[in-house]
Amino acid sequence: MRVVLADDAVLFREGVARLLGDAGFDVGGQAGDADMLLELVRSTAPQVAIVDIRMPPTHTNEGLVAALRIRQDHPGVGVLVLSQYVETHYAVRLLGDATGRVGYLLKDRVPDVDEFIDAVRRVGCGGSVVDPQVVAQLLGRRRNPDPLTELTRRECEVLALMAEGRSNQAICQRLFLGAKTVETHVSSIFSKLALPPTTDSHRRVLAVLTYLRS
């Protein structure tokens, strides 16, 4: 799986590249700014672009703007935002795309190398990965009327884990519930959030984020 990296912190970027290389990824290139990143994506056709938010020249939101551009121009390329910040406006637009291949992790909250490597693979294979703190901040800007008020406390817990990209089995383990109970909660969540039946598995991850776009 080929990946490209964009971060203006050279030592951090080199460290991530080394970790990915040791894990068997093909690191197709590194970029220190958004323009270099877009050129790398065009020239190397990676499966995943790992992007920081704040890069030159203004160190505000160049990375997220580039991520949205990649999603628009190269829909087959997964985008994993890896940053210290949550930029809610652009994050909603990025994560609200129901096609998957997207992730948003906070650097300081990545628990270990294995989980980070797994997150990159999941995004590259079409999945979605979202840090719970990102979800929490996005939920803070939801609008009224709020369909989440229809959910029970347990359904909210299940939904939070779904938004992290957890499978039913993982939710069972986290909440100490049986498989049929989790399936019932998931079905109820989809019904209460007015998400129609679909074969698209990404609605699990985007159940919360789809509403945030409304």
Q: Output the pLDDT for position 211.
A: 47
Domains of the chain, start order: 2-130 (3.40.50.2300), 142-212 (1.10.10.10)
Q: Output the pLDDT for position 151.
A: 81
What is the pLDDT confidence band of residue 208, given thresholds at 50, 70 and 90?
low
Its pTM stands at 0.65
Q: Output the pLDDT for position 122.
A: 92
d(CA 173, CA 96): 27
Q: Output the pLDDT for position 164.
A: 75
Q: At a CB cut-off of 8 Å and minimum separation 6, what does 87 contact?
A: 53, 61, 64
Answer whether residue 210 shows pLDDT above 60.
no
In 3D space, the residue among 51, 119, 120 whose CA is nearest the CA of residue 87 turns out to be: 51
Per DSSP, 77 falls in state S
Give the rounded percent of residues in the chain with a pLDDT score beyond 70.
86
Whether residue 89 contacts residue 96, with contact meaning beta carbons closer than 8 Å, is answered with no
Sign of the alpha-carbon torsion through 121, 124, 127, 132? positive
Per DSSP, 4 falls in state E
Report the phi/psi class of residue 45: left, alpha or beta, with left for phi > 0 and alpha for psi in -120 to 50.
Answer: left
d(CA 133, CA 185): 22
Peptide bond into 57 cis (omega under 30): yes
Question: Mean of the pLDDT values across residues 164-184?
Answer: 90
Q: Output the pLDDT for position 140.
A: 63
Mean residue pLDDT across the chain: 84
d(CA 61, CA 11): 21
- What is the amino acid identity at position 169? Q
Pairing of strands 48-51, 26-31: unpaired
Question: Mean of the pLDDT values across residues 36-48?
Answer: 96
Q: How many of the other CB atoms lie within 10 Å of CB of 145?
A: 8
Q: Output the pLDDT for position 4.
A: 97
**E-strand stretches of the chain:** 2-6, 26-31, 48-51, 78-83, 102-106, 128-130
Answer whether residue 68 shows pLDDT above 70.
yes
pLDDT digits (tens, 9 = 90+) for 7-35: 999 999 999 999 999 999 999 999 999 99
Question: Mean of the pLDDT values across residues 168-191?
Answer: 90
Peptide bond into 145 cis (omega under 30): yes
What is the pLDDT confidence band of residue 97, given thresholds at 50, 70 and 90?
low
Q: Output the pLDDT for position 198.
A: 57
Residue 130: beta bridge partners?
104
State phi, psi for 5 to the nearest 5 degrees.
Answer: -125, 145
Both tokens of 18, joined, read 């080394």
Q: Output the pLDDT for position 108.
A: 87
pLDDT digits (tens, 9 = 90+) for 118-158: 999 999 999 888 888 887 777 665 554 566 777 888 888 88
Question: Mean of the pLDDT values across residues 203-214?
Answer: 58
